[in-house]
Amino acid sequence: MNASHVIKTPHLPKGKVTRILIGERYRSRLEAPLKCRGIEVLWIPDNPDVDPRLGGHADLSVIHMGDNLLVAERYTFVNLLTIEGLEIKLAAAAQGAEYPADSGLNGCILDDALIHNPLYTDRAVLENLSGRKIITVNQGYAKCAVCVINERAIITSDAGICRAAAKFGIDALLISPGHIVLDGFDCGFIGGSTFKLSRHELAFTGRLHGHPDETAILNYLSEKAVSPVFLSERPIFDIGSAIPLFES
C-alpha cells in the first residue's frame, strides 16, 4: 500500500481512504466491514454536550476544513490531538443539547463552497474558509442533509438545499425525506448515512431496500461513475456521517 496522506478536499478523496473518523457507538456495526476494506477507523467517544441520541454523530463534533485542518468541539478536541499530521482548532462556541445549538460544525464543505446556515455556523469555521464561496440555506444540519457525490453533485432530501445548490451550478438529486433509520427519531438523513471510500465509491451504512427512491439513487450514482458499497445488510441508518481523513 502506498503511504497515506491527508485528504486535501473534505469528503472528496482522490485515492483510497485509509483512515476515517466515526462515532464510537457505531463500532460494533461498522468496524468489521471497514477493516475488511483496509480502512483504519479513528473512533471518537460520544459528545456529552449534545442530545444523547446524537452524541455519536461525528458531523456534530468535527468538521474537516481541508488539508490537515479540523475544527472540533471542545470534548473532541482533546481526543484528536494525538492524531499525527493533523492541525486541530477549537470551536469558538460551546454546544447545546437542542437544535440549533448543536449545529455549529454541521456545515457541508463541497470543493470550493460551504453549504450552511450562517446564523448557526461556528465562528472558527467561518474564519478558516480559505476563500470558499457561501451557499446559504435554512437547514442548520447541512452536512446531515447532504450526501456528497463529487465536486459538483450531491443527493439531498432538502428542497431548499437543492434550489440553493443549483444556483451555484451544483447538480442535486432530490429524494423523498425519511426512510432512513435514526435511533430515537422518526427518521434520519442521507448525508448522515453515507460517505466516500474513494473517488468512485460511496459507502452506505445499510441497504436501500424499502426506500422509495432506491432506483433513482442507484441510477444517479451510475451516471456519476460512482459505485455503491453497502456496509451492512441492515436498512440504511444515520450515524452522523463519517469524516475521511487520510488516503493512499
pLDDT computed for residue 1 by the predictor? 43
- Alpha carbon distance 140, 154 (integer Å): 17
pLDDT computed for residue 156 by the predictor? 98
Average pLDDT, the chain: 97
**Is the pLDDT at 3 greater than 80, yes or no?**
no
Q: Three cell numbers at 79?
A: 481526543
pLDDT computed for residue 226 by the predictor? 98
Q: What is the pTM of this model?
A: 0.97
Residues β-bridged to residue 92: none
pLDDT computed for residue 2 by the predictor? 54
**Is the pLDDT at 107 greater than 60, yes or no?**
yes
- Angle at 189 (CA atoms; ends 43, 41), nearest 5 degrees: 15
Collapsed DSSP state (helix, strand, coil) of residue 222: helix
Mean pLDDT of 97-120: 98
H helix and E strand count, the chain: 7, 16
pLDDT computed for residue 82 by the predictor? 87
Collapsed DSSP state (helix, strand, coil) of residue 24: helix
Place of cell 437542542: 98
- Picking from 79-83, 131-135, 228-232, which range would have the lowest pLDDT averaged per residue? 79-83
Per cent of the chain over pLDDT 90 is 96
Per-residue pLDDT of 43-85, as tens digits, reads 999 999 999 999 999 999 999 999 999 999 998 998 899 899 9
Per-residue pLDDT of 157-213, as tens digits, reads 999 999 999 999 999 999 999 999 999 999 999 999 999 999 999 999 999 999 999
- How confident is residue 152, by pLDDT bands cut at 50, 70 and 90? very high
Per cent of the chain over pLDDT 70 is 99
Strand order in the sheet with 62-66: 62-66, 69-72, 87-90
**Is the pLDDT at 236 greater than 70, yes or no?**
yes
- How confident is residue 141, by pLDDT bands cut at 50, 70 and 90? very high
